[in-house]
Structure 1
């Protein structure tokens, strides 16, 4: 074992640290080991619409999102809250009907989907990309159109 300038023993540099990092890092999951993405797509869409309406906290969706879509959702939710406050409109639970869910799989463990919803005033689409990570689906991209 090598020693440090203070005389303490130091383990030699090996690839063991890299192996441990890879072991504990998020692991990609193949499609065969993942559940049907349909219910997840519907639930995430409802959650996103509720966040924009101000009746759900963004933190409740954090486990379903990676960092980038989470941050974008927080920003858009804050803007929506400011707009409601400026107009004096209270937050109320949205009533949406899911019209269609279109999904495709460009690679193993990846689903790209568009969920079209009908609201009282207009129809909207939520586009998202899901990736299998650690045995479950997580949204890596999210857009409300």
Structure 2
């Protein structure tokens, strides 16, 4: 088989098994997932939830960033001789917009006893489900 045909078939096979973009109309409502991810991120940073529990909804970069943030928070708690405690929080507001089909960008306002945080999340539709391609806890 000539190399050009072999390369074409290889690319075609990779395209079939690569993540497929999904239109918004084929995806579930994003708001419950946004609230769940925001609360989960607060609990991961507090040290009471394992970041692997959120890995299903996170792309690689937000996953790594959340692991790093959780590790830094754990070291800070260790330096102060504090143990991890379940945070008491309330989702105050979810503000979302859809800049294009299959994409939702949102800010989730989370109030804890000590402070109020804004969590910015970008969801993209892949393989008929939402995945967070960006997550920032501010």
| TM-score (norm. length: structure 1) | 0.91
Q: 1:33 corresponds to which residue?
A: 26
Paired residues for 1:95-110 under 5 Å: 95-110=88-103
- Match 2:15 to one of 13, 16, 22: 22
- Secondary structure, counterpart of 2:48 in structure 1: coil
CA distance in 2 between counterparts of 1:43 and 1:80 reads: 20
CA distance in 2 between counterparts of 1:112 and 1:36 reads: 13
- Secondary structure, counterpart of 2:6 in structure 1: coil
Q: CA deviation at 1:92?
A: 0.7
1:58-90 alpha-carbon deviations (Å, 9 max, x no partner): 111111100111111111100000000000111
Are 1:85 and 2:59 matched, yes or no?
Answer: no
Please tell me whether Structure 1 or Structure 2 has the larger radius of gyration of its CA atoms: 1
Q: CA deviation at 1:17?
A: 1.3
Work out the number of aligned pairs and report it: 138
| TM-score (norm. length: structure 2) | 0.95
- Match 1:129 to one of 104, 110, 122: 122
- Secondary structure, counterpart of 1:107 in structure 2: coil
Q: CA deviation at 1:13?
A: 2.0
Specify which structure has the higher proportion of helix. 2
- Secondary structure, counterpart of 1:90 in structure 2: coil
Q: 2:131 corresponds to which residue?
A: 138
CA distance in 1 between counterparts of 2:49 and 2:133 reads: 20
Unaligned runs of 5+ in 2: none
- Match 1:115 to one of 100, 108, 117: 108
Unaligned runs of 5+ in 1: 3-9
